[in-house]
Amino acid sequence: MRRYLVIANVNAGRAEREALDAAVGVLSAASSTEVRMSPDLAALDAALTGLDGQVPVVAGGDGSLHLVVNRLLQLGWLDQVTVGLLPLGTGNDFARAAGIPLDPLAAAGALTTARPCRFDLLEDDTGRVVVNAAHAGLGAEAAASAAGHKRRLGPLAYPLGALLAGFREEGWALRVSVDGTPCAVGERLLMVGVANGPTIGGGTPLCPTARADDGRLDVVAVSAVSPAARMGFVAALRAGTHLDRDDVHHRQGTRVRVSGEPVRHDADGELDVEVTDRGYLVVPGAWSLLCPDAPAN
């Protein structure tokens, strides 16, 4: 019988704590369940090093999952530990990709009978791994603009951030290559997405063809920099038809490099400083997550 160690954010708000308590109640009724609040990396490492056969269950979103997976990698245990997920974040995009119910109570119930599934990761030049997606340009600036509104607006913060960033940015002169072949050269780009999962920002289908278990990464480079082109791109993005546009380049491969003007990157919601060169490669089947037997709606 599985034993669970739920790892939660000590700074969670009241609503998140109430949802966490209810989900923990479901897990506790099924098996031994312990909750560990994680205020810093030292506390997180202490929880992970003291698992003793427990399943670490991340109570949070893509950022929390990103942090735990990276710490397990750095501790040398990522290939030995299966992770669980209770989606309590703002976007919960990887939960969507994995078919995990977005309601924490439903996710807890599904967790008690879930099976281990292997998923890919994206690894960047710094040795950090990305669980769901990385993006540079407008997407990263949107995330930065949305950060101050997450607590109040929840998933609506990302569209607001995109709107605010969109008024300010005029694109970046970037070069993008996939498996060594140029994807976008000599264009100003609004954003570049490197996707393991299909959505970002709480369900925005940046790369609807992406699968987190197919051994490939998906790249979307957007050159819609004029005001009219941006409006058209945003409308197509909402409809999921943006990959058909002439100013959107889509490729699949195993590695990508983005270089040129300094640009901010966002990895699973974790913001970087501006860099002039960054590469990502896919690591197939790098980790294991407990998933429902059937995809959630």
Cα–Cα distance between 54 and 70 in angstroms, integer? 18
User: H or E segment at 136?
Assistant: strand 133-137
Spatial CA neighbour of 106 closest among 88, 91, 90: 88
20 within 8 A of 89, measured Cβ to Cβ: no
Q: Which among 34, 261, 270, 274 is annotated as catalytic?
A: 261
- As given in the structure block, the two tokens for residue 53 are 């056969």
Contact 19, 88 (CB under 8 A): yes
DSSP 269: T
Distance from C-alpha of 278 to C-alpha of 22, rounded to nearest angstrom: 41
In the DSSP assignment, the letter for residue 242 is: G
What sign results for the dihedral spanned by CA atoms 204, 209, 215, 217? negative
In angstroms, how far is the first alpha carbon of the chain from the final one?
27
| Pick from 59, 44, 64: nearest CA to 8 | 59
Helices (H), 50-127: 62-75, 93-98, 104-111
Q: From the centroid of its chain, how far is CA 166?
A: 21
Annotation marks residue 169 as catalytic? no
| Residues tagged active-site | 261
